[in-house]
Structure 1
Amino acid sequence: MSRQQRDALDAMLRTAPRAETPPTPQEQRDGFAAAMTRPAPQDVATRRTLLGGRPTLELEPAGASGRGRLLYLHGGGYVIGSPDTHAGLAGELARRAGLRAMSVDYRLAPEHAFPAAVDDGLAAYRELLAADTDPRNLVMAGDSAGAGLSIATLLAAREAGLPQPAAVVLFSPWVDLTLGGASIHSKDDADPIFTGADLRAYADLYVGAGDRAHPLASPLFADLAGLPPLLVQVGANEVLLDDAVRLAGRAAADDIEVTLDVGPGLPHVFQHHYDRLDEADAALDRAARFLTTHLGTERLAPAR
Structure 2
Amino acid sequence: MSSIQSDALKSLYKSWAASMADNPNMPLDELRRMFEHWADVTAEPGGVDYIEVDAGGVPGLWAVPKGVRQDRVLQCTHGGGYVCGSMYSHRKMYGHFAKTFGCRALILNYRCAPEHPHPAPVDDTTSAYQWLLDQGIRPQHVALTGDSGGGGLALATVLRARERGLPMPSAVIPLSPWLDMEATGETYQSNSDKDALVTRGIVLGMATTFLGEGGNRQDPLANPLLADLRGMPPMYIQVGGDETLLDDSRRLAEKARSEGVEVIFEIEPGMQHVYHFLAGVTPQADAAILRLADWVRPKLGLG
TM-score for both structures, normalised by structure 1: 0.93
Q: Report deviation, 1:9.
A: 4.7
Cα deviation for residue 221 of structure 1 reads: 0.7
Structure 1 equivalent of residue 278 of structure 2: 273
- Structure with higher RCO (Cα < 8 A, 6+ apart): 2
The answer as to 2:153 corresponding to 1:149 is: yes
Amino acid at match of 1:22: N
Supply the distance in 1 between the matched residues of 2:272 and 2:179 (Cα, whole angstroms).
17
Give the AA of the match of 1:272. F
| CA distance in structure 2 between the aligned counterparts of 1:261 and 1:229, rounded to whole angstroms | 14
Q: Give the letter for the 2:257 counterpart.
A: A
Distance 1:181 1:272 in 2: 24
Q: Which secondary structure does the structure 1 equivalent of 2:70 belong to?
A: coil
Which residue pairs with 1:31 in the alignment?
A: 34
Q: Which runs of 4+ in 1 moved over 4 A?
A: 6-9, 37-40
CA distance in 1, matches of 2:45, 2:234: 27
Counterpart AA for 1:182: E
CA distance, structure 2, for counterparts of residue 122 and residue 11 of structure 1: 35
Of 226, 237, 246, the residue aligned with 1:241 is 246
1:296 offset after TM fit, Å? 2.5
How much does 1:6 deviate?
A: 4.2
Amino acid across the alignment from 1:227: M
In the alignment, which residue of structure 2 is the partner of 1:169? 173
Distance in 1 separating the partners of 2:74 and 2:11: 33
Matches within 5 A, 1:117-132: 117-132=121-136
Q: Which residue of 1 aligns with 2:10?
A: 10
Cα deviation, residue 100, structure 1 = 0.7
CA RMSD of superposed structures (Å): 1.6
Query: Residues 2 and 217 of structure 1: is their aligned pair in 2 closer, same or farther, counting only changes over 3 Å?
Result: closer
Which of 258, 279, 283 is 1:253 aligned to? 258
- Relative to structure 1, the CA distance from residue 203 to residue 47 in structure 2 (aligned partners, 3 Å threshold; closer, same or farther) is same
Preserved contact between residue 39 and residue 84 of structure 1 (Cα < 8 Å):
no
Pair 1:80-2:84 in alignment? yes
Please state if 1:223 is matched with 2:228.
yes
Where structure 2 has 5 or more consecutive residues not aligned to the other structure, the ranges are: none
Distance in 2 (alpha carbons) for counterparts of 1:121 and 1:9:
28
